[in-house]
Amino acid sequence: MGLQQGMTFELIRRVGDEVTAHHLGNEGFHVLATPIIVAWFEEAARTLAALHLEPGLGTVGALVTAKHLAPTPVGMTVTVKATLREMDGRRLLFDLEARDDTEKIAEGHNERIVVSVARFREKLARKQTS
């Protein structure tokens, strides 16, 4: 694998109405929703890994933690940074941070497992036919 401890990747997203707490059912809160931050955390970590894995390999999420620190209104830009902190065999651990235009808004971790995409699909197919 070409992955190395300390590698980073940044993901940039704009906060639109479709990613607000209000849109997800928490009426009246027109700010970036926590579940969206979690999804963006996973996307950043997954992308960092994918950029450096051999063909035929991918990652699956095993654990995500997120601490939402501050609200972000519609219209702001959010930068999510994933840093590969640890590698242990197929296990990858990422440190995550999200910042909006003014401050740090979230932090967390994502544990991902490197898998053979073909073997993963085979296991899934067996499960679907049982």
CA angle 50, 55, 60 (to 5 degrees): 45
Q: Which of 42, 59, 83, 107 is catalytic?
A: 42
CA angle 85, 108, 30 (to 5 degrees): 145
Choose, from 10, 22, 34, 43, the residue flagged as catalytic.
34
pLDDT higher than threshold 90 for residue 130: no
Is 97 a catalytic site residue?
Answer: no
> Which residue in the list 20, 68, 72, 97 is annotated as catalytic?
68
Q: Is residue 77 part of a domain?
A: yes
Instruction: Let me know if 72 is a catalytic residue.
Output: no
- Within a domain: 41: yes
Q: pLDDT (tens digit, 9 = 90+) per residue, 85-105? A: 999 999 999 999 999 999 999
Q: Are 84 and 130 in contact (CB under 8 A)?
A: no
Instruction: Tell me which residue has tokens 């401050």.
Output: 103
- Assess if residue 64 is contained within a domain: yes
Q: Is residue 14 part of a domain?
A: yes
What CATH number corresponds to the domain at position 66?
Answer: 3.10.129.10
pLDDT given for residue 36 in this prediction: 98
CB 101 within 8 A of CB 77: yes
pLDDT band at 111 (very low <50, low <70, confident <90, very high): very high
The domain of 83 spans 8-129
Whole-number mean pLDDT of the chain?
Answer: 97
Mean pLDDT in residue range 111-127: 96
Quick: pLDDT tens for 16-27. Answer: 999 999 999 999
Is 124 among the domain residues? yes
Q: Is residue 2 part of a domain?
A: no
Number of domains in the chain: 1
Task: Please give the share of the chain, as a percent, with pLDDT higher than 90.
Answer: 98
Model confidence pLDDT, tens digit, residues 36-67: 999 999 999 999 999 999 999 999 999 999 99
**Quick one: pLDDT at residue 1?**
56
Question: Does the active-site annotation cover 52?
Answer: no
User: Per the domain annotation, does 18 fall within a domain?
Assistant: yes
Residue 44 lies in a domain: yes
DSSP 8-state assignment for residue 58 = E
